[in-house]
C-alpha cells in the first residue's frame, strides 16, 4: 500500500496500527506485523465519513480524537473503531481557518480559529489574527483562551488564478496547539515559546528558552520540490513554490503516553523531517532534548517506542518504529534520549 500525506499514526494496545492519510483520504488499520487489515470509514460527509482525516489526540482505552478540519468537524473514534462524539457544524466558513486541537477530559472541544482577509490582488500576507478557544457542540467558539498572530502558510504568488495571489508558503512559521485533556499548549513557531493554559484552574504559565530560527537549507527546498513532482502535482505548483528564508523554531507538537510535551522542531509534510524535540514534563520542566534519526518524523511517542514516518528513495512515506531508550533526566543541562 502506498501512502500519500500521512496525518497521524497510532499503535493500539494490541499492537495493531492506525494510519491516517489526509490526501487519499483514508484511515487504515494494520495488524502488529504491518499487514493491511481494512479501511476504517470512508470518504464523504456522512456520520462515518471524512474528507481530510487527521489524528489530533489520543484518549484512554485506544480512543482517538480525529479532525476533519476542512469540514469543521471533530469526532472520536472509539476502541471498537466506531465514530461518535461529533462536534462542529460541518461545511466551510468563508474567511476562517478552523483547526481542531482536541477535547478536554469533560468532552469540551478546543480549536484554533484563524481569520484571513478576502483574497484580492497579489501581495504579501505575513501574519493572520488567531484565537485558541473552547467550542460548543456546534463548533462555535465560547471561551477564548488566548489571542495570537498566526504565521502564514500562504504563498504570495498566484497558483493558476485560484486565490489571486496567495497560496501555501513552505516553511513559514505557524502557531500550533495541542491538549492533554487538562492543559492546552500554544506553541509559537517563530520563537522558542510555549504558553500553557490550565483550563479549569484558570491559570496560565509560559515555557521559554533561548533558540532562534535557522536558515532554510537549499536541500530542504529541493526535497519539497521533488516530493511535489513524485506526487505528480501540476508543474505550476511545484515549479513556483516560494520559501521562507528561515525554518521556524517549532513545528507541530506531540503529547506522549506519560503526559510529557514534545516540542518538535519544524518539518514539512512534503519530505523534510524535524531534527529534534524539546521535552517538558507535566510540571513544565524541560527534561530532555531528543535527536531523531535522519529523515524521520515522529507521529506517536509510547512508553518505550517512537512510531512515525520516513521517506523512501522515491519520496513515498513509509511507517517505521524505533525503540525509545531513556537516559538520565535533565538536571542543569539537557540529557538526550
| Per-residue model confidence as pLDDT tens digits over 202-230 | 899 999 888 888 888 888 888 777 776 76
| Closest to 95 in 3D by CA, of 132, 66, 124, 130 | 130
Residue 163, pLDDT above cutoff 50: no
Condensed to tens digits (0 to 9), the pLDDT of residues 86-117 reads 888 766 677 788 889 999 999 999 999 988 76
Bridge partners, 138 (sequence order): none
Amino acid 72: pLDDT = 80
With pLDDT > 70 as the criterion, what percentage of the chain qualifies? Answer: 81
How far apart CA 56 and CA 101 sit, in angstroms, is: 6
- Is the peptide bond prior to 216 cis by the omega test (within 30 degrees of 0)? no
Mean of the pLDDT values across residues 259-268?
90
Is 73 within 8 Å of 41 (Cβ atoms)? Answer: no
Least-confidence region, from 36-45, 102-111, 161-170: 161-170
Report yes or no: 104 and 67 within 8 Å, Cβ to Cβ: no
Position 222 scores a pLDDT of 82
Going by pLDDT thresholds of 50, 70 and 90, the confidence category of residue 247 is confident
Q: How far apart are CA 276 and CA 226, in angstroms?
A: 23
In angstroms, the CA 7 to CA 69 distance is 12
pTM to 2 decimal places = 0.87
Cell numbers that stand for 57 in this block: 489526540
* Number of neighbours of residue 12 by Cβ within 10 angstroms: 16
The terminus-to-terminus CA distance of the chain in angstroms comes to 32
Output the CA–CA distances (angstroms, integers) from residue 261 to 105, 181, 256, 264, 283, in the order listed. Answer: 17, 12, 7, 9, 10
Q: How far apart are CA 335 and CA 138, in angstroms?
A: 44
Q: How far apart are CA 320 and CA 322, in angstroms?
A: 7
What is residue 237's predicted lDDT score, i.e. its pLDDT?
58
Integer CA distances (angstroms), 76 to 53, 81, 153, 243, in order: 12, 9, 27, 35
Higher pLDDT, 123 or 17: 17
Amino acid at each position: 500500500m502506498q501512502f500519500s500525506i500521512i496525518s497521524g499514526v497510532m499503535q493500539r494496545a494490541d499492537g495493531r496500527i492506525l494510519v491516517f492519510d489526509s490526501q487519499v483520504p483514508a484511515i487504515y488499520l494494520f495488524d502488529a506485523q504491518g499487514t493491511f487489515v481494512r479501511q476504517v470509514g470512508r470518504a464523504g460527509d456522512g456520520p462515518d465519513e471524512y474528507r481530510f482525516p487527521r489524528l489530533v489526540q489520543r484518549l484512554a482505552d485506544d480512543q482517538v480524537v480525529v479532525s476533519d478540519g476542512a469540514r469543521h468537524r471533530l469526532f472520536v473514534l472509539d476502541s471498537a473503531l466506531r465514530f461518535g462524539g461529533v462536534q462542529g457544524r460541518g461545511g466551510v466558513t468563508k474567511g476562517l481557518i478552523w483547526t481542531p486541537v482536541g477535547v478536554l477530559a469533560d468532552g469540551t472541544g478546543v480549536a484554533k480559529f484563524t481569520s484571513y482577509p478576502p483574497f484580492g490582488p497579489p501581495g504579501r500576507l505575513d501574519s493572520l489574527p488567531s484565537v485558541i478557544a473552547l467550542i460548543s457542540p456546534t463548533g462555535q467558539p465560547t471561551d477564548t483562551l488566548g489571542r495570537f498572530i498566526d504565521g502564514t502558510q500562504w504563498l504570495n504568488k498566484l497558483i493558476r488564478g485560484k486565490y489571486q495571489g496567495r497560496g501555501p508558503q513552505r516553511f513559514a512559521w505557524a502557531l500550533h496547539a495541542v491538549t492533554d485533556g487538562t492543559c492546552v499548549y500554544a506553541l509559537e513557531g517563530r520563537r522558542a515559546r510555549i504558553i500553557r493554559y490550565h483550563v479549569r484552574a484558570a491559570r496560565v504559565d509560559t515555557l521559554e528558552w533561548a533558540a532562534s530560527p535557522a536558515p532554510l537549507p537549499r536541500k530542504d527546498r529541493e526535497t519539497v520540490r521533488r516530493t511535489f513532482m513524485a506526487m505528480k502535482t501540476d508543474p505550476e505548483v511545484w515549479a513556483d513554490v516560494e520559501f521562507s528564508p528561515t525554518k521556524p523554531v517549532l513545528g507541530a507538537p506531540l503529547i506522549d503516553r506519560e503526559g510529557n510535551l514534545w516540542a518538535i522542531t519544524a518539518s514539512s509534510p512534503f519530505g523534510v523531517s524535524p531534527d529534534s524535540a524539546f521535552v517538558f514534563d507535566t510540571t513544565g520542566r524541560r527534561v530532555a532534548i531528543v535527536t531523531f534519526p535522519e529523515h524521520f518524523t515522529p507521529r506517536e511517542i509510547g512508553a518505550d517506542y517512537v512510531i512515525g514516518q520516513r521517506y523512501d528513495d522515491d519520496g513515498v512515506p513509509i511507517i517505521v518504529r524505533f525503540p525509545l531508550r531513556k537516559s538520565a533526566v535533565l538536571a542543569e543541562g539537557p540529557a538526550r534520549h
